[in-house]
Chains A and B, each alone.
Chain A
Amino acid sequence: MTHSPQKKAYFGLIVIAVIFSGSLFWSLDRLAVQRDIVEATRSMGAWSAAQAEAELHRLLSDLDRYGLGDPKMERDELLLRFEIFWGRLKVIRISKESEELRTVEGATRAVDEMQERLAEIEPRLLALEKGDVEAYEEIAVPLRGFYPFLRDLTQYALIGPWIREAKQALDQAYLFMIISFAGIVVSTTALIFLFLRQIRKNVAAGQALQEAHNSLEQRVAQRTNELVEANDSLQQEITERSRAEEALRLATLEAERANKAKSRFLVAASHDLRQPLQSLGLLHRVLSESITARKEMQVLRDMGHSLSIMADLLNRLLDISKLELGVITPEMTEFKVDELLQRVGGPAAVEARAKGLELRVVPCSAVVRSDQTLLGRVLENLISNALRYTDRGKILLGCRRRNSSLRIEVWDSGPGIPEDQKRSIFEEYYQIGNPGRDRSLGLGLGLAIVERTAQLLGHRLDMESIPGKGSMFAIEVPLAEAAPLHQVPAPGAETCDYDLAGKLIALIEDDQIVAKATQLLLEQWGFDVVIGADGSEALRELRALGARPSLIIADYRLVGGKTGVKETERMWEALGPLPAIVITGDTGEEALREIQAAGCQLLHKPVDPHELRARAYQALSNAAAA
């Protein structure tokens, strides 16, 4: 951005202004000098002429008084006036201030004439007597003749041509001054105009810049605002979300807590219920095996049915609670799936027939890896469900290989599951077509148990259903890589290859009724039973008999903080290793772990007599085998 034309213009204008300023100062100085000259010459010239005129007047006045005989008028004073007037004429004739007056044509001569006249008058004046009017007139007349000339001289001093010349010079100086001043004004104005224009340009540029800056600022501010707003809304959202999350977390915590509380309640309740139920079951078995009358047999059968339903419900409750609490640890083993299918399918087939249905179990030679008990429970539940909801048709239990896993499927020809309820059926206490909550149809825990157990085992659960045609539930179990290491005989198998008679069982149970019922049951199976409220009591009894038991059956929770495991161990100390079964209503992991760690067999309350019998046989045969 160069402004060389402007710079040149500036320079030129400044030079012009300086020149005009110089000429102005010069003209001002000249003007002052001229004015001084004019004023001095005019005033002095006029003044000396006027003074002379004034002195003439005074002289004539004094002369009048003296000539007319004024007694106060002294002769000396008159003479002084004469002298003074003469002095004035001399000043006009000689002095510098009267130079201009003397330029007047005939002025010098006129003054000289007047002095000559004065010289003539002087002797007469000296000789003048006071009151001598004649002599006075002779003197006064020529003196009066001086007036016109002096008056003219004064007039001339004020307006004469010489003063015109001086005034011309003065006017020239004035003109020069005015021109200089105008030049200065014009050049300065031009300078100011140029300067203003440049300033305006600069200002305009500045304004443009400012505008750009402003708009930029505005944009930045806008963006900032947007960002701030976005940030705010984000912050708000985050806050809301975190609040929601917190609420959710709290709700989840609350739900979990509620669920845990519920589970704990259920566990406690089922435990408390189990004790009397077990007693009932045992007593029922004792009764049913001792009563032969038909009518009572029927009552007993109904009673047994009710008891089994009750035990089943309780078991399911317990199962789901235990699954909820996460206290069950699956024990993965490899086994032939066929055995499991038969064990589950057998009782179910009977039940199906009772309901007029056909249940087919398709044999399978596969060996799978899973927890046999838990998987069995899954299948039982699935079959039980199928049976419960199927009124006619078939139920099929079979397997199909799929890569490295085996899909165990349960088919039914039931009503199927509506699409919108496919998820709900896995929820606890959910039942389709049971709004009246008929408890003979169960609690609606079956599929919930299935799902939880499958999760626990890590098996995939699958379900297909066509409403009106039927449903299929499947669980995918990994195939074992090799043949099963050992084979667990199916519980409830009646096959027994050694004599149970005379086998002594030590029963440790503090509840007398339960102990009695169990004793009766065991004795019916041909066992001899020694009962003790704890280990030491049982040992005392045994010592009294002088016998050694073949098996220990102990209740886990005993009075006085004792446990079945500890009492069993006490027995072992006295008697050496013996197979032991610990029955517990406890679902606490601690208890289960303690039982398993001790090497005891575990039975959950309420104990199914068949299972107890099977376990007892198993334990005894294992001990015999060992």
Chain B
Amino acid sequence: MRWITPYSLVWVLVAFFLLVDRQALSDTLEMPTGPVILVVSGAIANSNVNGEAHFDYEMLEKLGLVKLVTWTPWTEGLPEFEGVRAADLMAAVGARGKHLHARALNDYKVEIPISDFDRYEVIFALKQDGQRMRVRDKGPIWVVYRDPSTTDVSDKMIWQLNELRVE
């Protein structure tokens, strides 16, 4: 085998490390490039900053956006929401807990059971009626449940969300 030379061995090693590195990259999250709009901490497998998963809008958008049309006590008519499926976000961070301690920009706090994401259709909405939600419009992220007819559910619909802690 002529190609087995010291150079080729080096390339093999480089390729190996690259593979390993890719593996490592797949375990961790890519670093946010834009403004961080969501920080996920706690019992998560995937992180990017000091054991926390910091997301900018693009990272969240890359997780795949789904649409959800529902009424809410705080909107008029039937708005069309667009956001990350909650279960997808949990998978992205490798959540290993049962609860999400959610915190909003206005310091509103609520606890969301992760099991809700199996029982209900829940999205971390980024857009309403095709428009990115501004903070004044309950952005940047609004946890939207489909058909929040009871206060038990609507209370968990935290808007202006910017922090999650998985426990």
A binding-site residues for B, Cβ under 8 Å: 40, 51, 55, 80, 83-84, 86-87, 90-91, 94-97
Contact = CB atoms under 8 A, between A and B. Distances in A.
Contact of A90 (B105, B106, B137, B151): B137
A87 B137 contact: yes
Given A55-B106, A80-B105, A86 B74 contact: no
A90 B137 CA distance: 8
A7 B74 CA distance: 60
A135 B133 CA distance: 29
A96 B73 contact: yes
B73 A83 contact: no
B96 interface: no
Given A55-B106, A80-B105, A87 B73 contact: no
Nearest to A48: B74
Interface string B93-107: 000000000000110
A83 B76 contact: no
B135 A97 contact: no
Given A55-B106, A80-B105, A87 B76 contact: no
Contacts of B138: 87
Contacts of A83: 134-136
A94 B76 contact: yes
Interface string B109-138: 000000000000000000000000011111
SS class of chain A's interface: helix, strand, loop or mixed? helix
Given A55-B106, A80-B105, A80-B135, A87 B160 contact: yes
27 contacts: A40-B151, A51-B106, A55-B106, A80-B135, A83-B134, A83-B135, A83-B136, A84-B135, A84-B136, A86-B135, A86-B136, A87-B106, A87-B135, A87-B136, A87-B137, A87-B138, A87-B159, A87-B160, A90-B136, A90-B137, A94-B74, A94-B76, A95-B74, A96-B73, A96-B74, A97-B73, A97-B74
Report the contact-size class of chain B (Cβ under 8 Å from the partner): 10 to 19
Nearest to B151: A40
A40 B155 CA distance: 12
A97 B157 CA distance: 14
Contacts of A87: 106, 135-138, 159-160
The 8 lowest CB-CB distance pairs between A and B, nearest first, are A83-B135, A86-B136, A96-B73, A95-B74, A87-B136, A83-B136, A84-B106, A95-B73
Contacts of A40: 151
A2 to B, nearest CB: 57
Interface string B128-167: 0000001111100000000000010000000110000000
A55 B135 CA distance: 13
B105 A84 contact: yes
A91 B106 CA distance: 14
A87 B76 CA distance: 15
A51 B108 CA distance: 11
B75 interface: yes
A385 to B, nearest CB: 143
Contacts of B106: 51, 55, 84, 87
A40 to B, nearest CB: 8
B135 to A, nearest CB: 3
A46 B82 CA distance: 31
A51 B75 CA distance: 18
A514 B27 CA distance: 169
Contacts of A86: 135-136
A80 B138 CA distance: 12
Nearest to B138: A87
A87 B142 CA distance: 13
Contacts of A84: 105-106, 135-136, 160
A593 B159 CA distance: 153
B131 to A, nearest CB: 14
Contacts of A95: 73-74
A47 to B, nearest CB: 11
A45 to B, nearest CB: 12
A51 B105 CA distance: 13
A145 B152 CA distance: 36
Interface string B45-63: 0000000000000000000
A586 to B, nearest CB: 138
Residue from B106, B137, B138 with most neighbouring chain A CB atoms (10 Å): B106
A94 B137 CA distance: 11
Given A80-B105, A84-B135, 6 more contacts: A83-B134, A84-B105, A87-B135, A94-B76, A96-B73, A96-B74
A454 to B, nearest CB: 134
Contacts of A96: 73-74
Nearest to A99: B73
A80 B106 CA distance: 9
A91 B135 contact: no
A286 to B, nearest CB: 162
Contacts of B105: 80, 84
A112 B160 CA distance: 22
Nearest to A88: B106
Contacts of B151: 40
Interface in B23-64: none
A93 to B, nearest CB: 10
Nearest to B106: A84
A55 B73 CA distance: 20
Contacts of B74: 91, 94-97
Interface in B66-108: 73-76, 105-106
A95 B106 CA distance: 17
A80 B151 CA distance: 27
A411 B30 CA distance: 175
B4 to A, nearest CB: 57
Contacts of B160: 84, 87
A612 B134 CA distance: 181
A95 B134 CA distance: 17
Contacts of B137: 87, 90
A91 B76 CA distance: 11
A84 B135 CA distance: 6
A87 B140 CA distance: 12
A51 B134 CA distance: 19
B155 to A, nearest CB: 11
A163 B73 CA distance: 20
Contacts of B135: 80, 83-84, 86-87
A33 to B, nearest CB: 14
Nearest to A118: B136
A87 B105 CA distance: 11
A89 B155 CA distance: 19
A483 B73 CA distance: 160
Nearest to A77: B105
Nearest to A40: B151
A143 to B, nearest CB: 15
